[in-house]
Amino acid sequence: MSLKSMLMRFALVACVLVVASMAHAGNPQQSCGGNISYGKAVKHFNKPKWPHCDYWFRGKDDDLIEIKVKVLSGNLKPSITFFDASARHIAKAAAERLKSRLNRGNGRYGFRITSALNPRTYGTFEVSLRFRGNQPQTCGGNIRYNQTVSQYNEKGWPHCDYWFRGTNKDVVEIKAQRLSGNLKPSIILFDSSARIISKSKTGTLRFRLNRGSGRYGFRLTSAVNPRTYGKFKVSLKETSPSSPPTPQPKPAALSGALVAKNVGTSPQRVELRVQGTLLSASGSGSGGRSSFSENFFGTLPAGGGGLFGGAREGNIGFAVKDLRAGRWSVTTASNITGAITCPDVRVPGRYLVINANATSPSQACR
């Protein structure tokens, strides 16, 4: 072989090694994930360049499975997300264990192990997949608005997951009523990706849907630990928010006094009748009365008596509530004076003084 051929071959090999090295640098090595089967356990680790570990297995509809993660080293706080062949979420747990039932038919299923915290955590772990049998499902499933179902949870099936379709801004109300056992219910509402939206430990949850229109779910389980179990009745209702009442004008009030003189030597008992009629209202709504007739009582102080003894002036106050705001015609009459009408009184307005001793109608109301 000539020297020229050897040099060309050497250059070609060098180029191949450089390209392979560059490809390796651009594609980080997979440190976790892959296929797994029932009864198997594998040891892997996640890292900043490979934070999510996706595992796939084959199962049958109604299989009850358990996924366990045991952290061996590092600071990993695991989260497990269980999904179907189309990567649609079925269940999620920010914990080292997830138990669920296959409910998307026979075939391929998967789950992701990643950090439950942000900033992310990493470490070496052992993950196992266990088949827990085909124990009959005691609760959960699809539910719709205005439906009530009676079911029960137990040690073999402690969590009851329900799914429904809702419209954005629907106000939903979920109620759980214990029928027997010692169940203390907790309700967790989540969206189609199993992200928690709201929680309640009172047995009732009311919430306005805010993740768009589509699939929502909620979990009914024990609110305390050790877990509680029992038979229950759960209902789902769509309750439109109460329409705010039409604003009504606040009722107004009229206050004032009748001013009169007493020329007698003894105090004068006065019975005053005040009547009013609404001429025109101000504002919208219908708050308050549009007419009134009320009696008031008072006493005028004693005067000096006689022609030169002098008269003493006093007043009889009045206050009328719950009136419609606007222009009013107000008339007063008493046992010592005739009728006096004030034809244009603003309610609410200033303190109304009616002078029984005025020389003209225009001066009687001020």
- Which pLDDT value is given to residue 137? 76
Architecture per CATH, 141-238? Sandwich (2.60)
Per-residue H/E/C for 287-302: CCECEEEEEEEEEECC
- Which pLDDT value is given to residue 100? 87
**Beta bridge partner(s), residue 214:** 166
Helix-then-strand count for the chain, H and E: 2, 25
Sheet holding 312-323, edge to edge: 312-323, 252-262, 352-355
| 209 CB burial (10 A radius; 0-12, 13-18, 19+) | buried
Q: What letter would DSSP give residue 136?
A: P
User: What does the pLDDT profile of the chain (366 residues) look like in tens digits?
Assistant: 565 666 566 666 555 455 455 544 456 688 999 999 999 999 999 999 999 999 999 998 878 899 999 999 999 999 999 999 998 888 888 889 998 888 888 899 999 999 999 999 999 999 999 987 766 778 998 999 999 999 999 887 888 999 999 999 999 999 999 999 999 999 999 998 888 999 999 999 999 999 999 999 999 999 999 999 999 999 999 986 544 555 666 788 999 998 888 877 888 898 999 999 999 988 755 578 999 999 999 888 887 655 555 678 888 999 999 998 899 999 999 888 888 899 999 998 889 998 888 877 678 888
Whole-angstrom CA distances from 365 to 324, 331, 355 are 21, 10, 7
Is the CB of residue 274 less than 8 Å from the CB of residue 352? no
Burial 46-82 (b: 16+ CB within 10 A, else e): beeebeebbbebebeeebbbebbbeeeeeebbbbbbb
Q: What is the pTM of this model?
A: 0.42
Assigned fold of 252-364: Immunoglobulin-like (2.60.40)
Instruction: Give CA–CA dist 112/198, Å, rounded.
Output: 24
> CA Rg, the chain, in Å?
42
Helix/strand/coil for 363: helix
Q: What letter would DSSP give residue 201?
A: S
- Which pLDDT value is given to residue 43? 96
Residue ranges matching CATH 2.60.40 in the chain = 252-364
Each residue's pLDDT tens digit, 1-45: 565 666 566 666 555 455 455 544 456 688 999 999 999 999 999
| 3 CB burial (10 A radius; 0-12, 13-18, 19+) | exposed
Class of domain 34-131 as given by CATH: mainly beta
Is the CB of residue 60 less than 8 Å from the CB of residue 38? no
Residue ranges matching CATH 2.60.120.380 in the chain = 34-131, 141-238
- Which pLDDT value is given to residue 305? 56
Q: In the chain, how long is the greatest CA-to-CA distance?
A: 156
